[in-house]
Amino acid sequence: MDTNSHSTPEAHRSGSLRAVMNHIVEKHHTFCRNEVVRLSSLFGEVRAERGKQNPELKRMEALFAAMAKDLHMHLIKEEQTLFPYIARLEEAVCLGAAVSWPPFGTVENPIRIMVEEHEQTDRELKEMRSLSGGYLSPPDAPACYAALYEGLRSFEREMEDHIRLENEELFPRAIAMEQDACARKAAGQG
């Protein structure tokens, strides 16, 4: 992926799918990976200080760890399989060249799995928010407690933007592009 992609939402709508994917990887995937490391460490700190008084922290930490493990694999699947296929598809369409069809049949198959995984992440984020009482830290909580909750709140917002961009922009455009390429092939034009 090159690093000269546009990054505004307007650019995504009018720009190439490659630019959208570059933006997703550089901004959202990087944020996700960095925050998983930082928040995991903060969880350890907060639970050591307040785990006894606030037993919900243990459940939240376990949920976060499970979500982080799934997200790790999710990002790899996007970066190593789905996004490269979409980039090759777009390149072939732009050049008017033959599309090399993927081993997974149609792009709709991996996209369906990614969307299901997004829904799972969304459920986990909602459960963590609910366990935390809306991320309101107790008035006597140490600074690391407030930092953890603020970090989780930002993580949730960022994941919502990330998921929305994939579900509502990238994936529908990739499906439409593939369908168009199939129609052209059937008509003997690709």
Q: Which residues bind Fe ion (CB under 5 A)?
A: 78, 114, 166
Could you tell me the smallest distance in angstroms from the CB atom of residue 100 to Fe ion?
A: 23
Could you tell me the smallest distance in angstroms from the CB atom of residue 171 to Fe ion?
A: 9
- Per DSSP, the three-state class of 190 is coil
Q: Name the residue nearer to Fe ion (CB basis): 52 or 72.
A: 72
| Category of 105 on φ-ψ map: left (φ > 0), alpha (ψ -120 to 50) or beta | left
Residue with tokens 């960095």: 34
Half-sphere exposure of 27 (CA within 13 A, CB side): 19
Q: Name the residue nearer to Fe ion (CB basis): 35 or 166.
A: 166
Could you tell me the smallest distance in angstroms from the CB atom of residue 122 to Fe ion?
A: 11
User: Which two three-digit tokens encode residue 84?
Assistant: 């490269």
Q: Name the residue nearer to Fe ion (CB basis): 76 or 94.
A: 76
Burial class, 58, CB count within 10 angstroms (exposed 0-12 / middle 13-18 / buried 19+):
middle
Burial class, 170, CB count within 10 angstroms (exposed 0-12 / middle 13-18 / buried 19+):
buried
Could you tell me the smallest distance in angstroms from the CB atom of residue 14 to Fe ion?
A: 21
Could you tell me the smallest distance in angstroms from the CB atom of residue 97 to Fe ion?
A: 27
